[in-house]
């Protein structure tokens, strides 16, 4: 049976590779993969994640020592055996210094090979087991499934995460000391503001010393590890004077890296002379440093996201607008207090389906609309308040509904409409008198040409004022909902009547009206006078803005349960920038000459009539080429007589 244990062999000599494969597979029962150069070996270590690496020293691209150095950075616990052709003491020391587990001097026989391989694998296994045991000890027996350094689910606040992090870091230092047999251990973290390292966790240091310990990055050994990102191992044999703020005889520091950035140092040391630290200790310490760094990174992430969540929650709670966030399946993700008051939910609505929570049919329809553009709706509450609700789709989340109390704006609007109605009414009588007396002036006696011209101008102006007053009155009546005369109406007849009504004006302006509508378009439920006025306004505009040239056509069709009416002209068109404001009261596009009569209210009336009939309108227009207004009205579907 082929063993699961995979050994990667790197040697540029084919015969040696064959020999190793043969010996390791047939005699040792290992799986073997071999390559001929150092760079390929490095790539394969990442790809295959072998259990052991055996490498030659002399290789193209990357030497054995360089390969070990590079592999060690990512895989501190991977055992590596270096093969050398020369029995050089110095090379062996170099190999062990960069992290080789053992070395073989060529020539070696199969027994020697297998013995070295077995020993290295055994050592690595022991190391792994003791680290794993140490880790599970730190994290508690019941959390075996947890990834090293991840935060347990039950943690609810940043404070408990920090408390837990302290335990994890102390555990990491404890384990490092226990596994290496060192006398003391410390975990130093860098304070970026002061540039000092302080002791975040320690083992066998005096508590007061640990809590007040500070060294500067620039003039300390630990600082060198921070600056260079490389481990430092020193003992009495090493010629360098050990610069720490306490007296030690041997010391090992490894960097703590979070996303490639060194944020601290994990260290062990001995104060007793004669005790040394070796590469195995370094591998243990590097593994523990990775573990501690992961825990710190997770805690940082947790605290950051927790802070952001709290901040967002506070903002949403405190804003006066009501906010509801809904997922793609129409379940409520979040609803702030103010929204809960409007929607009047009894239970906690989070997780519930909107259909079980929203009672207002308009609000429900708004939420169920799956359009990609923001939509708005007005909601009237039982207590008379009016809210403007805006639905905004959020990619990857669902949608947000923001509701704002617009009762005061509605009230202002109502007062303004009342005022306009009253004033308009009162203006009509004096206008009638002016028109009447102007008529009489002409009959009272002969007037000269000049006087006739002036009278004509007064008449035109009075007609304009009276048009404006009619439009204003119409608009305020429609908006106040005074049109209650809705009946089931034949929509083709409405269109035909409207065309007939506009014909006289079109002829006078030299425009031909075209109509293309099917005989039977169906029925709409509405006010025939207002519907005629709506189509009439669109036709008149088409004629007016064609400036005496071309045709204006009206066509209609039904689709599903609606009738679609299009009024098209080939006139002056509407500049793109003006299009969004075209239905606003008193708005006239920038390309309309000032002397052309008009109130800027016609399209507002059209829009209000359509709002009253659950219809919609939009336009397509190109400046200089013409305009098409499209109106959609719901068809009246007779109820099933059962």
Quote the CA–CA distance of 466 and 259 in Å, as a whole number. Answer: 76
Q: How far is the CB of 582 from ligand ADP (least distance, A)?
A: 5
Q: How far is the CB of 595 from ligand ADP (least distance, A)?
A: 12
Quote the CA–CA distance of 457 and 597 in Å, as a whole number. Answer: 13
Q: What are phi and psi of 182, to 5 degrees?
A: -75, 165
Site string for ligand ADP, 332-351 (x = CB under 6 A): --------------------
Closer by beta carbon to ligand ADP, 23 or else 589: 589
Closer by beta carbon to ligand ADP, 203 or else 588: 588
Note whether 598 binds ligand ADP by CB under 6 A. yes
Q: Which position among 82, 233, 324, 601 is part of the footprint of ligand ADP (CB under 6 A)? A: 601
Note whether 472 binds ligand ADP by CB under 6 A. no
Note whether 533 binds ligand ADP by CB under 6 A. no
**Secondary structure class of 566 (helix, strand, coil):** strand
Q: How far is the CB of 600 from ligand ADP (least distance, A)?
A: 4
Q: Which position among 316, 332, 582, 610 is part of the footprint of ligand ADP (CB under 6 A)? A: 582
Give the dihedral sign, CA 17/22/25/28: negative
Task: Classify each residue of 11-50 as buried b or exposed e, where b means 16 or more C-beta atoms within 10 Å of its C-beta.
Answer: beeeebbebbbebbeeebebbbebbbbbbbbbebbeeeeb
Closer by beta carbon to ligand ADP, 400 or else 592: 592
Q: Which residues inside 534-573 make contact with ligand ADP, applying CB under 6 A?
A: 541-542, 545, 569, 571-573
Closer by beta carbon to ligand ADP, 80 or else 567: 567
Closer by beta carbon to ligand ADP, 174 or else 569: 569
Q: How far is the CB of 592 from ligand ADP (least distance, A)?
A: 4
Whose CA is closest to 173, among 260, 73, 288?
288
Note whether 255 binds ligand ADP by CB under 6 A. no
Q: Which stretch binds ligand ADP (CB under 6 A): 184-192, 325-333, 558-566, 580-588?
A: 580-588
Closer by beta carbon to ligand ADP, 348 or else 625: 625
Instruction: Report how many helices (DSSP H) and strands (DSSP E) the chain contains, helices first.
Output: 17, 23
Q: How far is the CB of 598 from ligand ADP (least distance, A)?
A: 3
Closer by beta carbon to ligand ADP, 349 or else 542: 542
Note whether 498 binds ligand ADP by CB under 6 A. no
Closer by beta carbon to ligand ADP, 327 or else 620: 620
Q: Which position among 199, 574, 609, 617 is part of the footprint of ligand ADP (CB under 6 A)? A: 574
Query: Contacts with ligand ADP: how many residues (CB under 6 A)?
Result: 21
Note whether 393 binds ligand ADP by CB under 6 A. no
Structure tokens at 341: 């008051």
Note whether 34 binds ligand ADP by CB under 6 A. no
Whose CA is closest to 168, among 140, 192, 127?
140
Query: Cβ-count burial of 440 within 10 angstroms (0-12 exposed, 13-18 middle, 19+ buried)?
Result: exposed
Closer by beta carbon to ligand ADP, 592 or else 632: 592
Q: Which position among 17, 72, 203, 588 is part of the footprint of ligand ADP (CB under 6 A)? A: 588
- Is the separation of the CB atoms in 524 and 635 below 8 Å? yes
Q: Which stretch binds ligand ADP (CB under 6 A): 50-58, 183-191, 514-522, 583-591?
A: 583-591
- 148, HSE (Cβ side, Cα atoms, 13 Å): 19
Q: Which position among 169, 627, 631, 633 is part of the footprint of ligand ADP (CB under 6 A)? A: 627
Quote the CA–CA distance of 71 and 91 in Å, as a whole number. Answer: 18
Q: How far is the CB of 584 from ligand ADP (least distance, A)?
A: 9
Quote the CA–CA distance of 426 and 374 in Å, as a whole number. Answer: 42
Closer by beta carbon to ligand ADP, 17 or else 607: 607
When CB distances to ligand ADP are compared, the closest residue is: 602
- Is the separation of the CB atoms in 458 and 434 below 8 Å? yes
R_g of the chain, CA atoms, integer Å: 43
Quote the CA–CA distance of 202 and 266 in Å, as a whole number. Answer: 10
Q: How far is the CB of 496 from ligand ADP (least distance, A)?
A: 20
Note whether 264 binds ligand ADP by CB under 6 A. no
Q: How far is the CB of 621 from ligand ADP (least distance, A)?
A: 7
Closer by beta carbon to ligand ADP, 270 or else 599: 599
Structure tokens at 346: 């009894």
Where residue 227 falls (left for φ over 0; alpha for ψ -120 to 50; beta otherwise) is: alpha
Q: Which stretch binds ligand ADP (CB under 6 A): 136-144, 250-258, 266-274, 588-596?
A: 588-596
Q: Which stretch binds ligand ADP (CB under 6 A): 49-57, 288-296, 494-502, 586-594?
A: 586-594
Q: Which stretch binds ligand ADP (CB under 6 A): 313-321, 402-410, 487-495, 584-592?
A: 584-592
Q: Which stretch binds ligand ADP (CB under 6 A): 130-138, 249-257, 474-482, 581-589?
A: 581-589
Q: How far is the CB of 627 from ligand ADP (least distance, A)?
A: 4
Q: How far is the CB of 574 from ligand ADP (least distance, A)?
A: 5
Quote the CA–CA distance of 29 and 436 in Å, as a whole number. Answer: 119
**Secondary structure class of 69 (helix, strand, coil):** helix
Structure tokens at 149: 């350094």
Residues with Cβ < 8 Å from 298, sequence gap 6 or more? 149, 150, 151
Note whether 602 binds ligand ADP by CB under 6 A. yes
Q: Which stretch binds ligand ADP (CB under 6 A): 79-87, 136-144, 318-326, 585-593?
A: 585-593
Quote the CA–CA distance of 64 and 175 in Å, as a whole number. Answer: 31
Closer by beta carbon to ligand ADP, 580 or else 641: 580
Other C-beta atoms within 10 Å of 572: how many?
Answer: 20
Residues with Cβ < 8 Å from 350, sequence gap 6 or more? 332, 333, 334, 335
Q: Which DSSP state fits 141?
A: G
Q: Which position among 438, 551, 592, 632 is part of the footprint of ligand ADP (CB under 6 A)? A: 592
Strand arrangement of the beta sheet that strand 6-10 belongs to: 31-35, 6-10, 52-56, 80-84, 102-105
Ordered alpha helix ranges (H), 395-527: 407-444, 449-479, 491-509
Q: Which position among 256, 603, 609, 633 is part of the footprint of ligand ADP (CB under 6 A)? A: 603
- Longest CA pairwise span in the chain (Å): 140
C-alpha distance from residue 56 to each of 60, 78, 88, 121 (Å): 10, 16, 14, 18
- The site for ligand ADP (CB under 6 A) is made up of 541-542, 545, 569, 571-574, 582, 587-589, 592, 598-604, 627
């Amino acid at each position: 049976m082929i063993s699961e244990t995979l050994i990667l062999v790197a040697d540029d000599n084919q015969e040696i590779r064959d020999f190793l494969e043969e010996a390791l597979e047939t005699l040792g029962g290992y799986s073997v993969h071999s390559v001929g150069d150092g760079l390929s070996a490095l790539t394969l270590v990442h790809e295959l994640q072998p259990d052991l690496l055996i490498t030659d020293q002399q290789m193209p691209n990357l030497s054995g020592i360089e390969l070990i150095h590079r592999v060690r950075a990512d895989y501190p616990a991977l055992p590596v055996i270096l093969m050398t052709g020369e029995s050089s003491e110095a090379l062996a020391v170099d190999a062990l210094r960069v992290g080789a587990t053992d070395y073989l001097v060529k020539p070696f026989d199969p027994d020697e090979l297998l013995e070295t391989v077995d020993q290295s694998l055994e050592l690595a296994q022991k190391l792994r087991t003791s680290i794993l045991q140490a880790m599970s000890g730190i994290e508690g027996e019941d959390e075996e499934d947890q990834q090293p350094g991840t935060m347990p689910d039950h943690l609810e606040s940043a404070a408990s995460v920090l408390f837990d992090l302290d335990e994890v870091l102390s555990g990491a230092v404890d384990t490092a000391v226990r596994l290496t047999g060192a006398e003391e251990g410390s975990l130093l973290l860098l304070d970026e503001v002061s540039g000092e390292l302080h002791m975040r966790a320690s083992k066998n240091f005096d508590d007061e010393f640990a809590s007040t310990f500070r060294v500067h990055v620039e003039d300390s050994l630990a600082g060198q590890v921070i600056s260079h990102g490389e481990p430092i191992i020193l003992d009495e044999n090493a010629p360098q004077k050990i610069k720490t703020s306490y007296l030690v005889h041997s010391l090992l520091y490894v960097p703590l890296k979070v996303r490639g950035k060194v944020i601290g140092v994990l260290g062990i040391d001995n104060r007793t002379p004669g005790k040394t630290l070796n590469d195995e200790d370094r591998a243990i310490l590097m593994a523990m440093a990775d573990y501690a760094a992961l825990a710190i990174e997770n805690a940082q992430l947790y605290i950051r996201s927790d802070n952001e969540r709290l901040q967002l929650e506070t903002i949403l709670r405190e804003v006066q607008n009501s906010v509801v966030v809904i997922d793609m399946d129409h379940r409520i993700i979040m609803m702030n207090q103010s929204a809960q008051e409007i929607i009047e939910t009894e239970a906690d609505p989070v997780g519930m389906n909107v259909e079980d929570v929203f009672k207002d049919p308009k609000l429900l329809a708004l939420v169920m609309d799956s359009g990609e553009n923001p939509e708005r709706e007005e909601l009237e509450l039982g207590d008379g308040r009016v809210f403007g609700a805006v639905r905004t789709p959020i990619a990857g989340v669902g949608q947000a509904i923001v509701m704002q109390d617009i009762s005061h704006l509605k009230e202002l609007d109502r007062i303004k409409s009342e005022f306009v109605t009253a004033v308009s009414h009162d203006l009509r009588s004096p206008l009638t008198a002016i028109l009447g007396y102007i008529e009489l002036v002409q009959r009272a006696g002969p007037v000269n040409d000049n006087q006739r011209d002036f009278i004509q101008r007064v008449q035109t102006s009075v007609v304009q004022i009276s048009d404006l007053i009619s439009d204003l009155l119409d608009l305020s009546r429609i908006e106040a909902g005074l049109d209650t005369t809705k009946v089931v109406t034949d929509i083709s007849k409405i269109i035909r009547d409207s065309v007939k009504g506009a014909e006289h004006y079109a002829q006078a302006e030299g425009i031909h009206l075209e109509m293309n509508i099917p005989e039977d378009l169906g029925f709409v439920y509405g006010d025939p006078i207002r519907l005629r006025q709506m189509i009439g306004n669109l036709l008149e505009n088409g004629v007016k803005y064609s400036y005496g040239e071309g045709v204006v056509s009206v066509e209609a069709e039904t689709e599903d349960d609606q009738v679609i009416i299009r009024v098209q002209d080939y006139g002056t068109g509407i500049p793109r920038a003006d299009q969004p404001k075209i239905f606003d009261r008193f708005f006239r596009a920038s390309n309309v000459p000032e002397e052309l009569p008009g109130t800027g209210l016609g399209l507002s009336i059209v829009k209000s009539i359509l709002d009253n009939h659950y219809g919609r309108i939009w336009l397509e227009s190109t400046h200089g080429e013409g305009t098409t207004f499209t109106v959609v009205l719901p068809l009246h579907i007779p109820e099933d007589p059962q």
